[in-house]
Chain A
Amino acid sequence: MAATDFEKLSVESATVHEQPSAWARVRRNASVRIGGVAMGLLLLIALAAPWLGTVDPSLFDPASRDLLPGKLGEITTLEGETLQHRFLMGSDSFGRDIYSRVIYGTQVSLVVGLCTALVSLAVGIVLGLLAGFFRRLDGPLMRLMDGLMAIPAILIAIALVAMWKGTLLTVVVAIAIPEIPRVTRLVRSLVLSIREEPYVEAAISLGTPTWKIMGRHILPNCVAPLVVQGTFICASGILTEAILSFLGVGLPPDIPTWGNVMAEGRAQFNEYPHNIFFPGIFLAVTVLAVNILGDGLRDTLDPKMAKRG
């Protein structure tokens, strides 16, 4: 009987491809490693801020104003106790320790970056699924998104923070809103292409309800590009927060953020550049690390978007 011959001689059984899993490819990528390690260090700094030789970032001492980096000075705690303290990154014109403010500022920046990415992804995914799946909603929703994209992001953010009060929540929301159209567009285009895949059509013929098709078959196959997009939103969120603070429309000046520190150092930049130099370095390194991580993730998770090298 010929059937046994087929099974013995058929080439097929010998050519089953075992691809390395996506996670294995991600871990091998140099950009992911560099960006990941840098982000890990920053996260560690943010979490361990109280134990890194810092003092309360809101403490000031008129006697220690405008100290240069590395100088020894004194600082008074809230209990009225006066401590000797080495100002590693100098002090500002109120006598606050810039090192402590920059280290604590890491917490704010990372929280803002992460939350912005999560909020805009969450809203964008919902809107994108709706636009991609329901023809009637597609037009109105996407025109709304087009309108939102026509206004510069920073203007929307300034307007929103000015309307509300400058708290962490309002800043995150204000930065996230202009990012939503980008996520919505991405998710919509992914939904439009994935819903044409035969496995989605198979699910339809298997009687799977629409919401289950979205959750089971479409969303899981959008994860890779969304993770990549998330990192870029995170980086731009961190930058936008610093810009808002620098312009004085972000978090109140007593909260230590890199933008606030730089804003206060602006007037004295010629005499005391350290006021701006150190938070600037931290900001640049953080944004660079997130972007490198995102590039690496894009190259490994989403080879279609990656540039050929």
Chain B
Amino acid sequence: MNTDAPILQVENLTIALPSGGDRATAVRNVSFSVGRGEILCLVGESGSGKSVIAQGVMGLLPKSLPVQSGRILLQGEDITHAPLSRLRELRATRMSMIFQEPMTALNPVMTCGDQIDEVLRQHTRLSPAERRDKVLAIVREVLLPDPERMVASYPHQLSGGQRQRIMIAMALVLDPVLLIADEPTTALDVTTQAQILKLVLDLQGRHGAGVLFITHDFGVVAEVAHRVAVLRLGDLVEVGSKHDVLQRPSHDYTRMLMAAVPTLHLKQRPHDPGAPVVLKVQGLHKTYQDKRWFGPARQVQAAQDVTFEIRRGQTLGIVGESGSGKSTVARCIVRLIDPSGGSVMLGGDRPGEAAEDIAMMPAARLRPLRRRVQIVFQDPYRSLNPRRNVADAMVEGPMNYGLGRVEALQRARQLLAMVRLPESALERYPHQFSGGQRQRICIARALMMEPELLVADEAVSALDVSVQAQVLDLFEEIRSRLNLAMLFITHDLRVASQVCDQLAVMSKGQVVEYGPAHQVFGRPQHAYTQALFAAAPGRDFAFSGA
């Protein structure tokens, strides 16, 4: 076989969308190739058709998305319209795929070992003993500790990173020539992500497989790619080497994306150390108790001894991985959950007004204070009641505090203009807006209450990179125009570096490092902070959109 020939060739591939969608094709005239030992990153924002291409190659497209024209060649063999039996032979042996969410991609009622073994049973004539050796060997190769125990475990007994390693073991056990990775690290924490990326690179180097790597994260692209293909609404706008595409992009769209990737360099911002304190949190803790009928109650310390303060016009960022307790803290401050102890002093920044501790305040006394702290959530698709239009959503809060509907609507129009949405948005329902637009509506809804503190709980994490950049700009603009105090919760260090004046790093319910952002970013003291920064994908890579 010719070793120079590409492993995967996609030629003029067009895949149709069902009629009635917002465009006619999922992807249009897409051509690219993946060579032996090469990692091609397919990047694009949501809806760009990158996953559809992966499904097309694997022959997993649903009937509603037929291949209209073009060819897919795997080692020279046309598999575009290959019969199911042939595809079944090819899957796992010549090409295999790893998915975003290892929990749902693995069968919960089979042990991990049995699931890897199933691949071997299907495709080889090895004896049970040989299969077992092979399973253990591959589990060892993906660097899972204690392989014997791992193969006997069920998926729910493993961590997210371990599950993804099992998926990779399953995909590579028969040494395929092509590996398709569809957002394999998106569901993982940043430190786990770094390990998995390293593993994929190692294995790929050792096995010499071609990799089609699908991601939306340019940090990951900078970390793993040899070549990059950029998709926009089903069109391939640019293919080239990593350095060409990420640092000297030729297409306007790519340039815009590169400009939108948040850098890890702190933005210089005016700093007023004498600004009055709006919120002072002291010794806050939250313990979840799992009451049982028999045996002792189980306790989970979601937040322990959390202490920080936020001044007017400043942004405090809380960063941490999932389960670090950062959202628990946000919810305690907004009093969506009741803290178990500590104090949350709100206000006191205006003359003649004393700060009040809202941590344990009963609901009736809390009600007038609620308006002063507002929150924007992560998921723009679930943050607005689907059955109420934007006007109803926006006037709800002020009308709860006695403002008339006419005045409230007046304020709503002003705020919509501030978040750059047309006045006509008032009459429309949430499903008529995109994710970024919905997030703008949520911000406007929070501002309707004229709060002193705005809490953003992963408020840009669900957004595409270009939209994320716009919403981050909006947060910045609002903070400086309204002189708001902001609490910005995020898992993304790049995002944190763009908006934060102060930074608190949380791990396992505790604040491990707290201080001015330039100090924490510049000279991280705590080992966890250092590890977190080291794991940020593409941290040394200079993206350039100019």
Residues of A within 8 A of B (CB): 2-3, 5-7, 9-20, 197-199, 201-209, 212, 216-217, 220-221
Contact = CB atoms under 8 A, between A and B. Distances in A.
Contacts of A3: 470, 473
A187 to B, nearest CB: 17
A5 B259 contact: yes
B114 interface: no
A23 to B, nearest CB: 13
Interface stretch (B51-59, B281-289, B318-326, B433-441): B433-441
A230 B98 CA distance: 44
A278 to B, nearest CB: 45
Interface stretch (B85-93, B139-147, B351-359, B376-384): B376-384
Contact of B401 (A16, A198, A207, A221): A207
A11 B464 contact: yes
Contacts of A12: 45, 434-437, 464, 466-467
Contacts of B485: none
A197 B382 contact: yes
Contact of A9 (B253, B367, B386, B433): B253
Contact of B400 (A9, A10, A17, A207): A207
A226 to B, nearest CB: 14
Contact of B466 (A11, A16, A208): A11
A2 B469 CA distance: 10
Listed from nearest, the 8 A-B pairs whose CB atoms lie closest are A206-B397, A198-B377, A198-B383, A9-B256, A207-B400, A199-B385, A220-B387, A12-B434
B190 interface: no
Contacts of B301: none
26 contacts: A3-B473, A5-B252, A5-B255, A5-B256, A6-B256, A6-B469, A7-B470, A10-B470, A11-B45, A12-B436, A14-B233, A15-B233, A15-B434, A16-B22, A20-B20, A198-B377, A198-B383, A199-B383, A203-B385, A203-B396, A206-B396, A206-B397, A207-B397, A216-B385, A216-B396, A220-B387
Contacts, number: 122
B387 A16 contact: no
B371 interface: yes
Contacts of A7: 470
Given A13-B434, A16-B433, A202 B383 contact: yes
Give the dominant DSSP class at A's interface: helix
Nearest to B400: A207
Interface in B308-344: 334-336
B449 interface: yes
Given A12-B437, A15-B47, A16-B432, A205 B253 contact: no
B252 A9 contact: yes
Nearest to A12: B434
B370 A199 contact: no
B50 interface: no
B453 to A, nearest CB: 11
Contacts of A203: 385, 396
A209 B399 CA distance: 11
Interface residues of B, number: 55
A202 B48 contact: no
B431 interface: yes
A17 B431 contact: yes
A2 B396 CA distance: 35
A99 B545 CA distance: 82
B442 interface: yes
B400 A208 contact: yes
B48 A11 contact: yes
B436 A14 contact: no
A202 B445 contact: yes
Contacts of B397: 206-208
B388 A16 contact: no
B464 A207 contact: no
A221 B400 contact: no
A10 B371 contact: no
B398 to A, nearest CB: 9
Nearest to A210: B363
Nearest to B392: A216
Contacts of B466: 6, 9-12
B428 to A, nearest CB: 10
Nearest to B368: A207
Interface string B449-488: 1000000000000001011011001000000000000000
Nearest to B457: A198
A199 B390 CA distance: 12
Contacts of B377: 198, 201-202
B371 A207 contact: yes
Contacts of A216: 385, 388, 396
B232 interface: yes
Contacts of A10: 256, 436, 466-467, 470
B535 interface: no
Interface in B101-141: none
A202 B470 contact: no
Nearest to B21: A17
A221 B431 CA distance: 14
B260 interface: yes
Contact of A206 (B22, B335, B432, B449): B449
B375 interface: yes
Contacts of B396: 203, 206, 208, 216
A51 B47 CA distance: 60
A6 B22 CA distance: 21
B336 A201 contact: yes
A205 B336 contact: yes
Contacts of A20: 20
B336 A204 contact: yes
B373 interface: yes
B510 interface: no
Given A3-B470, A198-B378, A206-B374, 15 more contacts: A2-B256, A5-B252, A5-B255, A6-B466, A10-B467, A10-B470, A198-B383, A202-B383, A202-B384, A206-B371, A206-B400, A206-B449, A216-B388, A217-B388, A221-B387
A202 B233 contact: no
Interface string B243-264: 0000000001101100110000
A24 B22 CA distance: 18
Contacts of A204: 336
Given A13-B434, A15-B233, A209-B400, A6 B334 contact: no
A65 B384 CA distance: 67
